[in-house]
């Protein structure tokens, strides 16, 4: 039987404990996962692509079933290039659902073979996002417990609180 690979795309600026929850739960369903970091300069991320890649690799260094990669362009093209057809996305609130639903429909329009699967985040991460975490960290807030320790340290360094 062929191993089932899933793609978990996102900006991951930075990776949070909510992302890790989705990753760990998805690995109970799939054999392998590619964390695909979107390289989208229009989003003006806080961390460079290299910084995000290194942080994720550091956080997941003991997880042999995960590959960290990056991509430009259409997600459906990337998914097919990895020889799979499944994308996993996490959902928190209704606003996430509306956006993700639109994206899934567009991806289906672009390539009917690519399937989107949605996992609800664990309740304790329901109100957290990378954006909110960055905002709190930029003002000197303690975001430990919301992000892995290496990410917390990098946020402090980035905002001059280290």
CA distance readout (Å), 116 to 24, 26, 68, 85: 17, 13, 19, 9
Q: Is 116 noted as a catalytic residue in this protein? A: no
Q: Going by DSSP bridges, is the β-strand pair 5-10/66-71 parallel, antiparallel, or unpaired?
A: unpaired
Cα angle vertex 125, ends 13, 156, to 5°? 45
Q: Which of 52, 130, 134, 154 is catalytic?
A: 130
Alpha-carbon distance of 51 to 86, in angstroms, equals 26
CA–CA dist 32, 140 (Å, integer): 37
The one catalytic residue among 19, 89, 134, 154: 19
156 is catalytic: no
Which is catalytic among the residues 25, 32, 82, 92?
92
Active site residue 92: yes
Angle at 90 between CA 92 and CA 93, to 5 degrees: 15
The residues that are catalytic are 19, 43, 92, 130
């Amino acid at each position: 039987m062929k191993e089932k690979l899933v793609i978990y795309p996102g900006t991951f600026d930075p990776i949070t404990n909510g992302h890790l929850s989705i990753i760990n739960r998805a690995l109970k369903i799939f054999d392998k996962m590619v964390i695909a970091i979107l390289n989208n300069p229009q989003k003006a991320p806080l961390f460079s692509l290299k910084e995000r890649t290194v942080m994720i690799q550091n956080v997941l260094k003991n997880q042999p079933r995960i590959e960290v990669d990056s991509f430009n362009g259409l997600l459906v093209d990337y998914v097919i290039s990895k020889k799979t057809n499944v994308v996993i996305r996490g959902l928190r609130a209704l606003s996430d659902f509306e956006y993700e639903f639109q994206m899934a429909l567009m991806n289906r329009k672009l390539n009917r073979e690519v399937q989107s699967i949605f996992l609800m985040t664990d309740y304790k991460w329901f109100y957290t996002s990378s954006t909110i975490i960055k905002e709190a960290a930029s003002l000197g807030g303690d975001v430990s417990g919301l992000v892995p320790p290496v990410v917390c340290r990098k946020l402090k360094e980035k905002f001059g609180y280290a």
